[in-house]
Amino acid sequence: MELFPPIDPRQIGLLPVGDGHQLYWEVSGNPSGPAVLFVHGGPGAGTQPAYRRFFDPVFWKIVLVDQRGCGRSLPEASVFANTTAHLVADLDALRDHLDIPRWLLFGGSWGSTLALAYGQAFPERCLGFVLRGVFLFSAAEIEWFMSGMGRFFPEAGRRFATFLPPPERAQPLAAWLARLNDPDPLVHLSAARAWCAYEEACARLLPRPDDGVPVGPGVLSMARLEAHYMAHAGFLAPNQLLDGMGAIGHLPAIIVQGRYDVICPPVTAFDLARVWPGAVLRIVPDAGHAAMEPPLRAALVEAVEQMKAVAIA
């Protein structure tokens, strides 16, 4: 299935959520339809207009929000009062602000982490879940990101590892975090570009010709917030999300996973589906991590279409 045609938002706003943060949000599609929340990845990636296109605008009330510190939210790239608990509370504050009783959560990568954390905190406010590239913020997943991805993309892995001077390589995550939080833009921006280039180079089954080239606006929030959350184990207790599945195990979920997702390997989606009675796991055989890879985006659109039955039940 193809993406739906481009649409413009019907409403946009900035929602103050405390600690000096304001969240950019927008609503598009059917103002009277069942609500779906796009939970973006990163942490720090923000939303894009193309993300509205996963959803049928005739049916769904489509909600996009930029999490604290990223996208069009303010202040940009701020790690102050920026934890998973803050983001979970922010999402529910937005739900309340928009007067939405329940919504479908659609999240990929870090978005799957946050969607699960939100669902376990507020199960009564969730219709169900469509998740992609599941990430549970275990120590093994963080270590894999920092060094394991280079086993499949050694060129990118070597550039990432050797960006740090030799004295800083013994504790790479701490070194990256220090550079990304350095007040000097020459230091933090060069580190952010290198971090994002590494992730971008590993994101697809078939890398684009420009993969590995530093990307544009948003690199600082993406890199700084990812390192911030990794340094704090996602602000989650060990195994918290798997242990908490009793809260949402009865809710329906479709988990869409690229077979060759190097950033979020399929074993994590498998582990999640195994303890989720209401979940269906769909492995896409010819896809990596990026949601916009044609096979993955088609599977995601199909999954949301199937969730219409849940929304009107």
pLDDT tens profile 36-67: 999 999 999 999 999 999 999 999 999 999 99
Same domain for 159 and 199: yes
Q: Is position 286 annotated as part of the catalytic site?
A: no
CB 272 within 8 A of CB 303: no
In a domain, 5, yes or no: no
Residues 96-124: what's their mean pLDDT?
Answer: 98
| Residue 168 falls inside a structural domain | yes
Tally of structural domains, the chain: 2
Say whether both 82 and 122 belong to one domain: yes
Asked if 245 and 180 sit in the same domain, the reply is no
Asked if residue 79 belongs to a domain, the reply is yes
In a domain, 1, yes or no: no
Of 28, 109, 112, 221, catalytic? 109
Question: Which residue segment(s) compose the domain that 159 sits in?
Answer: 143-233
Question: Token match 């049928």: residue?
Answer: 56
Which of 233, 252, 284 corresponds to the end of one domain?
Answer: 233
Residue range 208-229, pLDDT digits in tens: 776 545 556 689 999 999 999 9
Q: Is residue 289 very low, low, confident or very high in pLDDT (cuts 50, 70, 90)?
A: very high
Q: At what angle do helices 185-201 and 154-163 cross, to 10 degrees?
A: 160
Do 168 and 210 belong together in one domain? Answer: yes
Does residue 268 share a domain with residue 243? yes
How far is residue 190's CA from residue 121's CA, in Å, rounded to a whole number? 37
What is the pLDDT at residue 207? 80
State both tokens at 116.
């699960």
Helix, strand, or coil here: 108?
A: strand
In a domain, 2, yes or no: no
Neighbours of 56 (CB within 10 A): 17
Does residue 261 carry a catalytic annotation?
Answer: yes
Asked if 102 and 244 sit in the same domain, the reply is: yes
Regarding whether 269 and 224 lie in a shared domain, the answer is no
163 and 289 together in one domain = no
Q: Find the catalytic residue in 66, 90, 211, 261.
A: 261
Residue 189, C-beta contacts closer than 8 angstroms, at least 6 positions apart: 219, 220
119/245 same-domain check: yes
CATH number at residue 299: 3.40.50.1820
pLDDT at 290: 96
Which of 187, 213, 233 corresponds to the end of one domain?
233
Percent share of the chain, pLDDT over 70: 97
Domain boundary pick from 169, 202, 233 = 233
Section 286-299 average pLDDT = 97
| 243 part of the active site | no
